[in-house]
Structure 1
Amino acid sequence: MAGEKSFPTFKIFKNAQIVETIEGADKAKLSNAVKKIAAEADGDGAEGGYGKTSATSWLGAALAKGYRDVTDQVDVRGLDLMNSDSSGGSARDLFANGAPSALGSGKGSADKKDWVESDTDEQMMLFMPFQSTLKVHSLHVTSLAQEETMRPKTIRLYKNRAHTLGFDEADDIEATQTVELSPEDWDDKTGTARIELRFVKFQNITSLVLFVADGDGDAEKTRLDRIRLIGESGEKREMGKLEKIGDGTE
């Protein structure tokens, strides 16, 4: 019939309104439209400092538009946490899917702590290997410190290390990025600071070392409840051997 179209027409709706029409099987346009919708959904789904990427994934801060939670790419089998109090939680607790228990009662569970505290002083060193190569845009660091603990103040990040660093070694190596956190950086509701990284330096990342160099306050120990990584995931890595890329000191 005259006037009929022989190719498909895709209409994209938002809030019951058509926001985009794509005529024809243009794969590139369709792909870009899907990515745009996903990015907007991530941004819209994180209000008041909270965000969720699934029914089981808790976020303490809003996602950066265009990026997703890639915390599931952490290889928990290879985690290494140095100078942590043995009476507290483990490194795996930092990447648990659920919200920190302390957000419920204000003090957390007396039976099992799902957070970590430093041991002999305020410093902690966390080694995080990844299952795939990542582009890391930002970190969400949650610390629900009580009177006897502090939130981190200075955090140093080292990329693509084959293993964790010693504390003396970290002082002698230039960090990929050093972050100084102030009280205003922490969300009042979630106890989370969103740390935006120098994205150009955090491409092709196979591991990160997070060094809590000092805390903000007069207590003797620092505390961490959750860590989330935000960015993009790439090619899966061959697990069983960690490969060092570059010298890791850029």
Structure 2
Amino acid sequence: MSKPVKITSPDQLSSLLSSSRIVVVNFYNEWSGVSRAVASVYDQLATQLSRANIVTFTNVNAEQQSQIAQTYGVTSAPTFIIFKNGNQIQRIIGANLQQLSEAIKRLATEAESDGSSGGFGEASSSSGGPWRGADVPRGYNDVTDQVDVRGLDLLNADSDFGGVRTLFEITQPTTLAMGKGKRAASGSEGKKDWVVSDVDEQLMLYMPFTSTLKVHTIQITAAPSSSEDDEDAPMRPRTVHIYTNRQHNLGFEEAEDLPATQTIEFKPSDWDEKTATAKLELRFVKFQSVYSLVLFVASGEGDGEKTRIDRIRIIGESGEKREMGKLQKAGDDS
């Protein structure tokens, strides 16, 4: 049990990231009233949850340590970044102490009960952080934690499979965790932690964000069928239309008539064989101030009747935290 460690150099922080399994960093400013207001509660969390070489709390003065703030893309205070095994796994902007407390308590419990995997599943690399199906481009972060799961909406999903929040789970899809032979043998048994369309191949997903984002890439994971002879197996997405800054989900007929911000046509070669993941590389200039996205899966890659998605990851930069009670004006869409 201890108080937060004051960080006075980049090397000091790097050393802690190497020696402590979980590191919580509070980027603050002396002049920020919000930073001062949350300081006492943050200190209490540190006193309660710090564990030597397991959970370490730190404070970084964002102005005095501008190099560190710039390295991690911190532009406002307070900003809390949680690292696991040296990798950033969550970023919380503003005074959302309940979210911070819940995240740290969960991680502390996992770290103490399972020193190897920490309950996160196997990542595509050996990072030990949340699973993702592809590398993050240099200079950007996984900002999937900025998805406001309370506002998610998914149309035409088969209720026999996972719900919309399944798409944003931090664990590796169970289908990928098993070998191909085991997948074929298991059939439809076990946890169905993926989404499948219902009456046809189309899906309509609405994703609001808790912060305004610059979105660089969207990663979509869709496991292939375990049997090439299964004609009824769900397909991977082929045509995906993306819409920005909508107030709510679109209807299918509405989307057909609305120009998309960008349309992606996947080829079979776009899907990584090991992770079953394809990257939607966006026209970055069109995705600079994004507070919501709609993904319209218009067609699948084959002649089947249903489409499947296992996971979605959002890659980019997080900016100013949104005031969720205030809606942008209709017509602000990019």
TM-score scaled by structure 2?
A: 0.60
Alignment-derived partner of residue 256 in structure 2: 171
Match of 2:167 in 1: 94
Q: How does 1:1-250 map to 2 (within 5 A)?
A: 28=66, 31-32=69-70, 50-51=124-125, 55-105=128-178, 106=180, 107=183, 110-146=189-225, 147=230, 148-240=233-325, 242-244=327-329, 246-248=331-333, 250=334
* Structure 1 stretches of at least 4 aligned residues deviating more than 6 Å after TM superposition: 8-12
Tell me how far apart the structure 1 counterparts of residues 172 and 326 of structure 2 sit (CA, whole Å).
32
SS in 2 for 1:57: coil
Percent identical pairs in the alignment equals: 55
1:34/1:80 Cα in 2 relative to 1: closer, same or farther (>3 Å)? closer
Where structure 2 has 5 or more consecutive residues not aligned to the other structure, the ranges are 1-7, 15-62, 74-82, 88-122
CA deviations 1:74-131 (Å, max 9, x no partner) are 0111110000111110010000000000012243772331000011110000000111
Alpha carbon RMSD of aligned pairs, Å? 2.8
Distance 1:158 1:51, change over 3 A: farther
Distance 2:309 2:224 in 1: 8
1:137·1:199 contact (CA, 8 Å) conserved in 2?
yes
Counterpart amino acid of residue 285 in structure 2: V
- Using the alignment, how far apart are the partners of 2:152 and 2:11 within structure 1? 46
Q: Give distance in 2, aligned partners of 1:224 and 1:165.
A: 19
Which residue in 2 is equivalent to 1:18?
none
Shift of 1:236: 1.2
> Whose helix fraction is larger, Structure 1's or Structure 2's?
2
Higher relative contact order, structure no. (Cα contacts within 8 Å, ≥ 6 residues apart): 1
SS across alignment from 2:167: helix
Per-residue deviation, 1:56: 4.5
Which deviates more, 175-184 or 110-119?
Answer: 110-119
Q: Is the 8 A contact 1:56 1:98 kept in 2?
A: no
- Closer, same or farther: CA 230–51 of 1 in aligned 2, 3 Å: farther
Would the aligned equivalents of 1:186 and 1:192 in 2 still touch at CA under 8 Å? yes
Contact 2:174/2:191 (<8 A) preserved: no
Q: Which has the higher strand share?
A: 1
Letter of the 1:130 partner, please give it.
F
Tell me the TM-score normalized by structure 1: 0.79
* Offset from partner CA, 1:184-204 (integer Å, 9 cap, x none): 100000000011101111011
Q: How many angstroms does 1:235 deviate by? A: 1.3
Paired residues of 1:123 and 1:211 also in contact (CA < 8 A)? yes
State the distance in 2 between where 1:131 and 1:102 align.
Answer: 30
Unaligned runs of 5+ in 1: 1-7, 15-24, 43-48
